[in-house]
């Protein structure tokens, strides 16, 4: 059982639960609101965040709908095994197993960063279970656009030394992903809490290296299959909330999402960064919560 530090509890007032994934790793997840309900909002984070990223949205929605928010294996408060298949395929399988374990039959999906590929990878397996969709600065399709700094992080050297040794991915993200405002001291501490050592940054490094840029990459086939599955959701109620000052998931991704989900309501926040829920929480959280509470789908 993971102990939540006292300083974190005001920001993260939850009691995480645990689930054993098919590979045997312990996954930490939040299960808030409407216990036992078979309808839930599934919120999936990316790299290098964790369930903390969704804390305000959970508090806004939990009085109305069950909220399930996992920390992917290697991330957040979950186990961080050194030798583990940190691939898109394995992460989709983990989510599939968690949803089955919880008996969920109707899922409203909220995705951010690499959570988009994971979430829509899962959704493409069970399109009949999927209700509302919320897309936040993410991708679920191959793209030729990758910032040079992330390209460097994908390398074995100096990439791994930068990411795992110098915290050169999670650390800079706390300021590069914000534009409207700065994170408070405790918010920054919270984002970085799970990634405080070489060992605990194993999945941060692996997540970056799992981004497929060419067909020869092992994850390319899975990502292209996920992209092909997006056609199944062209009529689902959808909302795109996008930070326009994203150094990674930039406007190329935003325009692609508008093509893939032409029915979506769009909220383009020109001066918000990649951590759009943190940077523009006063606008983003109420809009998303109201959209999900409608439940008319």
* Residues 185-215 pLDDT 10s: 999 999 999 999 999 999 999 999 999 999 9
Is pLDDT at 297 greater than 60 in this prediction?
no
Q: What is residue 149's predicted lDDT score, i.e. its pLDDT?
A: 78
User: Can you give the residue ranges of every domain in the chain?
Assistant: 17-294
Is pLDDT at 237 greater than 80 in this prediction?
yes
Q: What is residue 151's predicted lDDT score, i.e. its pLDDT?
A: 81
**pTM metric for this prediction:** 0.97
Backbone angles phi, psi at 239, to 5 degrees: -140, 135
Is pLDDT at 147 greater than 90 in this prediction?
no
What would the pLDDT profile of 218-230 be if each residue is shown by its tens digit?
A: 999 999 999 999 9
Using pLDDT thresholds of 50, 70 and 90, give the confidence band for residue 153: confident
Q: What is residue 136's predicted lDDT score, i.e. its pLDDT?
A: 98
Q: What is residue 1's predicted lDDT score, i.e. its pLDDT?
A: 59
CA–CA distance, 191 with 280 (Å, rounded to integer):
16
Q: What is residue 295's predicted lDDT score, i.e. its pLDDT?
A: 63
Percent over 90 (pLDDT), the chain: 91
What would the pLDDT profile of 256-278 be if each residue is shown by its tens digit?
A: 999 999 999 999 999 999 999 99
Question: Between residues 1 and 180, which one has the greater pLDDT?
Answer: 180
What would the pLDDT profile of 69-122 be if each residue is shown by its tens digit?
A: 999 999 999 999 999 999 999 999 999 999 999 999 999 999 999 999 999 999
Using pLDDT thresholds of 50, 70 and 90, give the confidence band for residue 3: confident
Q: Which CATH number fits domain 17-294: 3.40.50.2020, 3.30.420.40, 3.40.50.1820, 3.40.50.2300?
A: 3.40.50.1820
């Amino acid at each position: 059982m993971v102990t939540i530090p006292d300083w974190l509890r005001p920001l993260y007032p939850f009691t995480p639960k645990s689930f054993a994934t098919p590979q045997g790793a312990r996954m930490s997840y939040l299960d808030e609101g409407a216990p036992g309900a078979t309808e839930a909002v599934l919120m999936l984070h990316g790299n290098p965040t964790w369930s903390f990223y969704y804390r305000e949205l959970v508090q806004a929605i939990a009085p109305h709908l069950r909220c399930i928010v996992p920390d992917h294996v290697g991330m957040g408060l979950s186990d961080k095994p050194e030798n583990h298949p940190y691939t898109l395929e394995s992460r989709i399988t983990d989510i599939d197993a968690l949803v089955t374990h919880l008996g969920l039959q109707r899922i409203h999906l909220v995705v951010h960063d690499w959570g988009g590929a994971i979430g829509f990878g899962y959704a493409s397996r069970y399109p009949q279970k999927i209700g509302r969709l919320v897309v936040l600065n993410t991708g679920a399709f191959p793209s030729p656009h990758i910032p040079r700094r992330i390209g460097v992080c994908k390398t074995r050297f100096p990439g791994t030394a930068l990411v795992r040794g110098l915290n050169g991915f999670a650390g800079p993200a706390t300021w590069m992903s914000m534009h409207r405002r700065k994170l408070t001291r405790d918010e920054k501490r919270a984002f970085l809490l799970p990634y405080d050592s070489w060992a605990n940054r194993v999945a941060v490094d692996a997540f970056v290296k799992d981004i497929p840029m060419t067909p020869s990459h092992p994850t390319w086939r899975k990502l292209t299959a996920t992209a092909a599955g997006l056609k199944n959701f062209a009529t689902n109620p959808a909302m795109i909330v996008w930070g326009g000052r994203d150094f990674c998931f930039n406007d190329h991704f935003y325009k692609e999402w508008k093509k893939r989900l032409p029915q979506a309501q769009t909220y383009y926040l020109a001066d918000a960064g990649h951590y759009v829920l943190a940077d523009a929480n006063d606008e983003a959280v109420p809009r998303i919560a109201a959209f999900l509470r409608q439940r008319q789908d």
